[in-house]
Amino acid sequence: MEKIIGIGNALVDILVRLNDDAFLEQIGLPKGSMMLIDEARQKELRTCMEKLPMEQATGGSAGNAMLALAKLGGNAGFVGKIGTDVLGKFYAENCKKVGIDARLLECSLPTGVANTFISPDGERTFGTCLGAASTLQASDITPALFEGVAMAHIEGYLVQNHELMEAICQTAMEMSVQLSLDLASYNVVAADLPFFQHLVQDYIDIVFANEEEAAAFTGKKEPMEALREIAALKCLAVVKLGSKGASARLGREEVIVPANRVPVVDTTAAGDFFAGGFLYALNRGASLKDCLSCGALLSEHIIGVVGTRLPEEEWKEIRKKIKI
């Protein structure tokens, strides 16, 4: 199976399940938001969190997608930057444990952390300190990172560093590596729309978006109209429709699959696992319908647990269900 690598922020998720949303008001994080914080604010948060039960897992959008792909049996890799600290060691060891070929760079800053607060309704609120992850730069991107790679899946949060994104895309193109881009967040897209449009028009082969991100990218509020507009840029467009399922379009072929209703415990990584499942199926030559179904299956399972850790027995069940 051809290798797919993720490129993104190497973060360790610190997961906190809340009994109510009063704690969010206490720490000043709007429910459902993703706020970047500095190291001083990170220390303040950790002090507030000391008496709360916490879980720890590797995270980051592209990293989560590669975790899903690897657990399905895919040939997964990851490029990111960590610190030379305990959390960095944890990140590297966990990648090795799950079968991800981690091509990790290091720096003196602490490993990035995503403090993830999970409300009773499953909604997530993030206080993210990028730390070492924020220092990934254009000069770090070399052809060696793409050796033996067929496709690179990039998280949209990296788009805020234009020079880095240009280096990734140009180097990948020189190495004949296909590019997949997750639009990351509607506010990130809206804040840097011309550059996102440039990337998709000039480099990107596959675009993943949810309804809000697709609307921000195209200006079309109707998801299927947005899907068609993205696909018109000569890429494979995938728009996730939440409880209504997921859609994809390539050329004139357009497919929609419905979603199954399942209990929601935590929506952390639902979109990332969807991308991992979709890319796994695509890499194995599956139809668009089967790619969507594979992505949807993983999303349905991951929203039933806190964080990104599914029991191995559950992974065995998932692998049995995928007939590709």
pLDDT tens profile 169-181: 999 999 999 999 9
For residue 266, the model assigns a pLDDT of 64
Identify the CA nearest to 160 among candidates 199, 105, 214, 209: 199
Indicate whether 97 belongs to any domain. Answer: yes
pLDDT tens profile 251-291: 999 999 998 877 777 677 889 999 999 999 999 999 999 99
What separation, in Å, do the N-terminal and C-terminal C-alpha atoms of the chain show?
A: 13
CB 110 within 8 A of CB 128: no
- Beta-strand relationship, 253-257 and 246-250: antiparallel
Indicate whether 113 belongs to any domain. Answer: no
CATH (domain of 163): 3.40.1190.20
Distance of alpha carbon 271 from alpha carbon 60, whole angstroms = 12
Tokens of 192: 């840097």
Domain count, the chain: 1
Half-sphere exposure of 103 (CA within 13 A, CB side): 22
76: left (phi > 0), else alpha (psi -120 to 50), else beta? beta
For residue 308, the model assigns a pLDDT of 78
For residue 34, the model assigns a pLDDT of 78
Indicate whether 99 belongs to any domain. Answer: yes
Indicate whether 182 belongs to any domain. Answer: yes
Indicate whether 150 belongs to any domain. Answer: yes
Indicate whether 202 belongs to any domain. Answer: yes
Whether pTM exceeds 0.85: yes
Low-confidence ranges of the chain (pLDDT < 50): none
Q: How far is CA 107 from the centre of its chain?
A: 23
Which residues constitute the domain of residue 296?
A: 3-9+60-108+135-321
Q: How far is CA 277 from the centre of its chain?
A: 12
